[in-house]
Amino acid sequence: MSKSTDEGAVLSWQSGPRRMVTVYLPLAIFIFILLFPFYWMTITTFKPNAELYDYKQYNPFWVVHPTLANIKKLLFETSYPRWLMTTMLVAICSTVLSIFASVLAAYAIQRLRFRGANAVGLAIYIAYLVPPSILFIPLATMVFQLGLFDSPLALILTYPTFLIPFCTWLLIGYFKSIPYELEECALIDGATRLQILRRITLPLAVPGLISAGIFSFTLSWNEFIYALAFISSSEKKTVPVAILTELVQGDVYQWGSLMAGSLLGSLPVAIFYSFFVDYYVSSLTGAVKE
């Protein structure tokens, strides 16, 4: 009995350090690397210029005399509130448009079973792999020809070019996990395809829709290349572009306002994630089992 107890203690002692080295230490390093930029943004936002440029007297990793001057300058001396509203409008409209088109495309490919459906699904996914920078020139030509240059509508209509392919591919896989027998029963009872989609498929696919929505909203919010090329007016710019182009004057970087704008610009995405994180996790694991 004593021997088995000693062996158990040895195994427990060995498993404890092993778990610390193989699980907790890598996890702690990963969390540190992931969260340190946000910590640096936060402390820089509340640092006065005296602390920001004098590391000999002040600790660069802490704030001695916090101030709201950088946030005040950002909100009241720039067009940041308007930039934020424009970014929100573009992200929401692009997300809604992309999810609507992706739902119809994914349902048709997965459920209608027409000839060449698999090839169409593969082509849509391959379209997602095309870098946005390659599509930049033809999209720019269309934007100029349609008279949409320097308008948020240009971004709302171009962002779905890279959002719809991925969302469609994601929803195809999620619709596949929903038992087809449920729709067959509805068809026998006389329901139309649109009624089945609205009353049966979509309620069961809410986690997948949330996952696609989070993906679309995040990419639309952070997109830079199209927003930089298609918008020239200062008041119509989105947050990622405006922070870089309006708060950097020549070789002078207004670091306090830059970090404040980056911090405030990341909050809507973080709040969006926090509300739907459970649906996002369930969409990854699969909410419906046959």
pLDDT tens by residue, 149-164: 889 999 999 999 889 9
Distance CA 142, CA 259 (A): 35
**What is the per-residue burial (b if ≥16 Cβ within 10 Å, else e) of 207-232?**
bbbbbbbbbbbebbbbbeebbbbbbe
Most confident of 7-16, 54-63, 89-98, 121-130: 89-98
- What does the pLDDT read at residue 288? 41
- What does the pLDDT read at residue 285? 55
pLDDT tens by residue, 45-60: 898 888 887 778 888 8
Using the predicted structure, report yes or no on whether residue 257 has a pLDDT greater than 60. Answer: yes
Q: CATH 1.10.3720.10 in the chain: give the residue spans.
A: 70-285
Say what the pTM is.
Answer: 0.81
**Range with the lowest mean pLDDT among 10-14, 63-67, 184-188?**
10-14
φ/ψ (deg, to 5) at 147: 70, 30
> What contacts 24+ positions apart, CB below 8 Å, involve 277-285?
279/206, 279/207, 279/210, 279/211, 280/207, 280/210, 280/211, 280/214, 282/207, 283/174, 283/207, 283/208, 283/210, 283/211, 284/211
- What does the pLDDT read at residue 284? 55
What is the mean predicted confidence (pLDDT) over 158-182?
86
CATH, domain range 70-285: 1.10.3720.10
pLDDT tier for residue 279 given thresholds of 50, 70 and 90: low
